[in-house]
Structure 1
Amino acid sequence: MAVPLELTSANFAAHAEKAELPLVIDFWASWCGPCRSFAPVFNQAAAELEPRFRFGKIDTEQQQALAARFAIRSIPTLMVIKQGSILAQQAGALPKAQFYQWLNTLA
């Protein structure tokens, strides 16, 4: 069963810029209530929607350079990147059905 990758400055380029699959990123922090409540939806999507998408999480507290690079101002922020280009971005957590619908518009 697929699980989201823990993305860091060290491994980000390999997954976001060189990979063939669109990468769905959850920018989050441990102190963020909406982030924690969205985590099970994100994990379930990773299990159900790979290999159409790859899923990764960026802890904005631990990876401040990546958060700054993408000008993340609120969390959670969801972003889809393919080969280094941002395909879509969504601020805020989504209910499961809406999250899947959003992803299906990008596939």
Structure 2
Amino acid sequence: KMAALPWVVAALVLDGAIAEGGSSVIKLTDDNFDDFTSTGSWILKFYAPWCGHCRRMAEDFETAAAEMEGKIGFGEIDCTKQKSLKTRFEVKGYPTLKF
């Protein structure tokens, strides 16, 4: 089973689930959300790319994710693309953080 792990990681990188540059923040989508978040604890950032507050907090969110890697998951949801997740979590403004 461990032999398949590099292939899974490669598939996630190619699919965009893991951001470029070795980001510790997982890009969550309607398709992968439940698979990723079904185990462990997660801090979720709901954002819009045009949101200035979201852009300003991005670096701090990434830093926190790197420091907590292996202890808690950090995921981000682009609400302009993942509208069903925005509705499911009743996101009303950006950024919204949920634990």
Shift of 1:2: 5.2
- 2:81 partner amino acid: Q
The separation in 1 between residues aligned to 2:24 and 2:75, in whole angstroms, is 8
Report deviation, 1:3: 1.4
Q: Which amino acid aligns with 1:33?
A: G
Structure 1: which 4+ aligned runs deviate by more than 3 Å? none
Normalising by structure 2, we get a TM-score of: 0.75
List runs of 5+ in structure 2 lacking aligned partners.
1-21
Between Structure 1 and Structure 2, which shows a larger proportion of helix residues?
A: 2
Contact 1:2 1:50 in 2 (8 A): no
Larger radius of gyration: 2
Rounded Cα–Cα distance in structure 2 between residues aligned with 1:39 and 1:2? 11
Cα RMSD of the aligned pairs, angstroms, is 1.1
Q: Secondary structure at the match of 1:26?
A: strand
The answer as to whether partners of 2:24 and 2:69 remain within 8 angstroms in 1 is no
- Measured in 2, the distance between the counterparts of 1:60 and 1:12 equals 13
**Which residue of structure 2 lines up, in the alignment, with residue 78 of structure 1?**
97
Residue 52 (structure 1) aligned to one of 49, 71, 85: 71
Among the aligned pairs, what percent are the same residue?
A: 37
Q: TM-score, normalised by structure 1?
A: 0.69
Amino acid at match of 2:84: A
Match of 2:44 among 22, 25, 30: 25
Match of 1:89 in 2: none
